[in-house]
Amino acid sequence: MAVIRGGYWRSSKANYFPPESIQTRYFTHLFYASVAIDEIDDQTYQIRLSDIDQTWIGRFTQTMFNNNANVKCILSIGEDTEAGRTTLSNMISTPDGRKSFIRDSINKALQYGFHGLDLYWKYPATANEFDMPNLSLLFKEWNDSLKEEHNRTGNPKLSLSTIVYFAPKFFPADDNKAYPFKSIKDNVDFVNLVCYDYSGSQDVEVTAEHALLYDQHDEMSTHYGISSWIDDAGVPEGKLVMGLPLYGRRWELVDRNENGIGARATAVGPMDYSDILQFNGVHQANLHVVNDKTVSTYSYAGQAWIGYDSKFSIKGKVQYAKDHALGGYFFWALGMDKDYELPEQAFDTWN
């Protein structure tokens, strides 16, 4: 399989960053993120097209086709909310629910000219202990249906992907909570790993990189997650796609003179890459690249501290993905780097 250079485009930000703003030359796969699932009854599940989706979904695929006919457009399905996760859990719990959803997802993809389908369920966190066995069934039945549609019509087979947690088992450790490795290996074309958001919650009281490649003291790192998917889950490296964030996380230092990784601080929240560059310039921030131990970047000015990926750390991560024969990389989310500095760096590094 050719290298995947992916990017998720958020329809919710379309007025700020319309499809026409996407520089398609940097990408092979562009994901429409994302449409939700409606529970009509306990047997019928359909794709929900909101008013925003009805405005933008057709424009998205048409714009991509006009700008770069080689780009694959992927419809990402799911929502990272408690209600969305519950609906997804309900849908996969019955054969009729899965069948209804699969049929409608394929119809919607074909209707709007997508090349593939993507399940957006980054953190399967519901009380249903059968979620993962049911997810295994969904992937198999979905892939079987995609093959049947291809054989019946002769059209190219729609691809099947999923965006998942950075590691095959969830943290904190829970022996009963792990992805269905074999079904993913057998039925999913590629797996987008969320290799970010390792830190930044309000209960953490020291600065930390939220997307570091290595961590000598913790398992919350991209290297650990990818190694686990390969060694423990048995998913081939060529199916694994490394997630790269186009945003960082800002902290408020307790003591401005204590400003390294692990300094006492309070988490503030996410910050787009373009805004980080502006902040660094306006405040003449101190910049530190930590390529030897973490492959990450941070800057600080006064009591503000920001951990993020720069061109330097993106180069190191993409080189890692290439050296380890991964399937490629994807960015979350387009529009956060207005000048495409990081996608351009990733593109050049792999080449």
What tens digit of pLDDT does each residue of 206-220 get?
Answer: 999 999 999 988 889
Let me know if residue 36 belongs to a domain.
yes
Under the banding of pLDDT at 50, 70 and 90, the label for residue 123 is: confident
What is the pLDDT of the chain when averaged over all its residues?
94
Q: Which stretch of 33-42, 90-99, 121-130, 336-345 has the lowest confidence by average pLDDT? A: 121-130
pLDDT higher than 80, residue 30 = yes
Average pLDDT for 232-240: 97
CATH number for position 138: 3.20.20.80
Average pLDDT for 168-186: 81
Structural domain range at position 87: 4-245+309-350
Let me know if residue 8 belongs to a domain.
yes
What tens digit of pLDDT does each residue of 280-333 get?
Answer: 999 999 999 987 799 999 999 999 999 999 999 999 999 999 999 999 999 999
Let me know if residue 293 belongs to a domain.
no
pLDDT value, residue 126: 67
Number of domains in the chain: 1
Let me know if residue 297 belongs to a domain.
no
What tens digit of pLDDT does each residue of 90-102 get?
Answer: 999 999 999 999 9
pLDDT value, residue 114: 98
Let me know if residue 90 belongs to a domain.
yes
pLDDT higher than 80, residue 201 = no
Let me know if residue 295 belongs to a domain.
no
Average pLDDT for 126-154: 94
Would residue 189 be called left, alpha or beta, if left means φ above 0 and alpha means ψ between -120 and 50 degrees?
A: alpha
Let me know if residue 199 belongs to a domain.
yes
pLDDT higher than 60, residue 144 = yes
Let me know if residue 336 belongs to a domain.
yes
- In SS3 terms, the chain reads as CCCEEEEEEEHHHCCCCCHHHCCHHHCCEEEEEEEEEEECCCCCEEEECCHHHHHHHHHHHHHHHHHCCCCEEEEEECCCCHHHHHHHHHHHCCHHHHHHHHHHHHHHHHHCCCCEEEEECCCCCCCCCCHHHHHHHHHHHHHHHHHHHHHHHCCCCCEEEEEEECCCECCCCCCCCECCHHHHHHHCCEEEEECCCCCCCCCCCECCCCCCCCCCCCCCCHHHHHHHHHHCCCCCHHHEEEEEECEEEEEEECCCCCCCCCCEEEEEEEEEHHHHHHHHHHHCCEEEEECCCCCEEEEEECCEEEEECCHHHHHHHHHHHHHCCCCEEEEECCCCCCCCHHHHHHHHHHC
What tens digit of pLDDT does each residue of 254-280 get?
Answer: 999 999 999 999 999 999 999 999 999
